[in-house]
Structure 1
Amino acid sequence: MKPARTLFISALFVLILLLAFVWLSPHMPARVPTHWNAQGQVNGYMSPLGAMLTPMIVIAVLAMLTLLLPAISPRGFAIMPFGSIFALIMLAVQAFVLVTALAVLLNAAGHPVQMPLISMLGIGALLMIVGNYLGKLRKNFFIGIRTPWTLASDAVWERTHRVGGWLFMLAGAAGIALALAGGPLGVLVAIVLGVALALTVYSYIAYRRLELHH
């Protein structure tokens, strides 16, 4: 995906968020719920402007990183060879931020939105998208499963990311199923942490088998 196209999509995300704020802001209270705990209870507030600007800034920063990181990647760890995959993943993260922010604004304006459900569905979908492309990432310092052992070996990187792709997709599917069944967000967080730990251990074991025994 060309840089100009990614910037256009990111700008479109920002424009959608801005238009939604203009439309909904007259119906918002002075304090907007912006954060919920694992039990679905509100535990964080912002002003309406802050609720719009914060995700907008996050999207803008991610858009800039999408252009910057490939340009500054050192030789041997370049992002350019899989630049289109990197851009797609970064856009998926921005889309997740956008959907969550729109849900926050809609909820604040009096349109009932189940925020924990939206968050879990969004996280599940994002995990599945990332998992689908994880095996196509090559060794780099900025994105992927970066452990000392994956960064030390191309073979360990490839094997860990191939396994990680399946685990991410399974975790994402589990998250979506959990959300639809009304399960708690804490369970999804535990699943994600479990996947991260499992992949860290797997990369170490793969390194010992592939590198230390040769």
Structure 2
Amino acid sequence: MTPVRTLLLSTLFLVVLLAAFLWLYPHMPARVPTHWNAQGQINGYMSPQWAVGTPMIIIALIAVLAVLLPVISPRGYDIKPFVAVYSTIMLATQVVVLVAGLGVLLNAAGHTVRMPLVGMLAAGALLMVMGNYMGKLRKNFFIGIRTPWTLASDAVWERTHRMGGWLFMLAGLAMVAMAFAGSSLTLLIVVVASIVLIPPAYSYVVYRRIEKKNP
């Protein structure tokens, strides 16, 4: 995936959001629901303009970073050798924002969209995409499981990301299952905590083992 193709797809995402907004705007109220709690109750509103503007700004920022970060990566931590994987993950993240944005617009215009379900499904799918590609990431400062121990050792980076890939895949599958099962917030917190806490701890353990073998 070249930077030009990535930018073209990002532009397409923005056009889709804008077109949906223009089509649905006549049917939208002055205050658009944009946030839901774990019970599916609305607890946040925006104007229609901000409801579409916010996801568009986020997509645009991610698109800029997708092109900029490979250019400014320092020597020894270059993104360019795995830029196709990097671009895929960045585009997948934009797709999640696009889906959420379209869901908000459709819901505001009177179409039945279960936003908590859509949000969890999109987040679960993103975790699975990241898990699938995580083992192909190489040491860098911008994307992946970046701890002092993974950045200090290529071996620690590779082992941590192989484990992290499986963990993210399982977490994504669990999140999709929980979305359909209507699981509790506690279980969701456990899943999120696992992908936040386990990989850094694992990287430290692996680093210490390698350090003992090669003092």
User: TM-score, structure 2 length as denominator?
Assistant: 0.97
SS of the aligned residue for 1:141 comes to: coil
Contact 1:149 1:207 (8 Å CA) reproduced: yes
5 Å-filtered alignment, 1:3-42, equals 3-42=3-42
Quote the offset at 1:122 in angstroms: 0.4
Separation (CA, whole Å) in 2 of partners of 1:88 and 1:19: 24
Distance 2:136 2:192 in 1: 21
- Residue 190 of structure 1: aligned partner: 190
Question: 2:49 is matched with which residue?
Answer: 49
Equivalent position of 1:58 in the other structure = 58
**Contact 1:3-1:67 within 8 A present in 2 as well:** yes
* Structure 1 unmatched runs, 5+: none
Q: Structure 1 pair 113/175, CA: closer, same or farther in 2 (3 Å)? A: same
Amino acid of the structure 2 residue aligned with 1:192: V
Residues of 1 paired with 2:53 and 2:185: CA distance? 25
Task: Say which is worse superposed, 6-15 or 181-190, in terms of deviation.
Answer: 181-190
Query: With structure 1 as the length reference, what TM-score do the two structures score?
Result: 0.98
Q: Determine helix, strand or coil for the equivalent of 1:138.
A: coil
Q: Does 2:92 align with 1:97? A: no
Amino acid at match of 1:54: T
Q: Give, in whole Å, the separation in 1 of the partners of 2:6 and 2:101.
A: 20
Three-state SS of the structure 2 residue aligned to 1:44 is strand
Confirm whether residue 86 of structure 1 aligns to residue 121 of structure 2: no
Deviation at 1:44, TM superposition (A): 0.9
Aligned-pair CA distance for 1:190: 2.6
Q: In the alignment, which residue of structure 2 is the partner of 1:200?
A: 200
Q: Give the Å deviation of 1:211.
A: 2.4
Greater than 2 Å deviation, 4+ residue runs: 184-190
User: In the alignment, what sits opposite 1:124?
Assistant: 124
DSSP-derived class of the 1:6 partner: helix
Q: What CA distance in whole angstroms lies between the structure 2 residues aligned with 1:172 and 1:156?
A: 24
Specify the SS of the correspondent of 1:35: strand
For this pair of structures, how many residues does the alignment match?
214
How large is the RMSD of aligned CA atoms in angstroms? 1.0
Q: What is the match of residue 141 of structure 2? A: 141
- For the Cα contact (< 8 Å) 1:38–1:186, is it kept in 2? no
1:8-29 alpha-carbon deviations (Å, 9 max, x no partner): 0000000000000001111010
Q: Which runs of 5+ in 2 are unaligned?
A: none
Give 1:185 deviation, angstroms.
4.9
Identity of aligned residues (%): 65
